[in-house]
Amino acid sequence: MFTGIIEGLGTITAIHPSGQGSRMSITADFDLDGTRIGDSIAVNGACLTAVALKGRQFAVDVSPETLQRSILGRTKIAERVNLERALRLSDRLDGHLVSGHVDGVGILRNRKRLANAIIITYSVPRNLSRYMIEKGSVAVDGTSLTINRCDQSSFDVSIIPHTARLTTLVGKKVGDPVNIETDMIGKYVERL
């Protein structure tokens, strides 16, 4: 379980195919003190398991399902990624509950400045937008955000300067894909 509050950035340093999956090596910009092999780390919002660890570098195995459903199948060496280690039960819960199970991919469609914020519009398929509500939560590349506006094919979020500095969101270009995880409560309510 995660909160969507990005802990820091990392850089993809190696990608090795492994059958239909892959193994990725990532170097974090921050100390991974207390992290152990077997711990969960969200990489651009996808919950992955650390299978090797040395200093600030860790390796993860990425399943075929994750490669197909998320943008990790398109990731390249030297690409910057958002990182968050799993929530501890004793931690404060900022952001919102994020499972790290990416629902699908959205596309950055528009970006504009409004006072101190950057308003970003993402297009999403209907099977994702159905779980979005105005002032609800969404995770974009693992970042917990509040939905300002939404319709059947898109939604807007406001990126404040703090979030802009600590995540990869404002470095993306129009047309770039992003991982989307919708709020889990809506999915459970629909299922019930």
The first and second tokens of residue 30, run together, are: 């921050």
Measured CA to CA in angstroms, residue 120 lies from 4, 78, 79, 80 at distances of 17, 24, 21, 19
Q: What is the DSSP letter of 29?
A: S
Query: 165-190 pLDDT, tens per residue?
Result: 999 999 999 999 999 999 888 888 88
Name the amino acid, one letter, at 192.
L
pLDDT in tens, 43-85: 999 999 999 999 999 999 999 999 999 999 999 999 999 999 9
pTM over 0.85: yes
The structure tokens listed for 25 are: 């090596």
Distance of alpha carbon 73 from alpha carbon 50, whole angstroms: 18
- Coil, strand or helix at 49: strand
Q: Rounded distance, CA 63 to CA 68, Å?
A: 9
The tokens describing 81, both together, are 């990624």
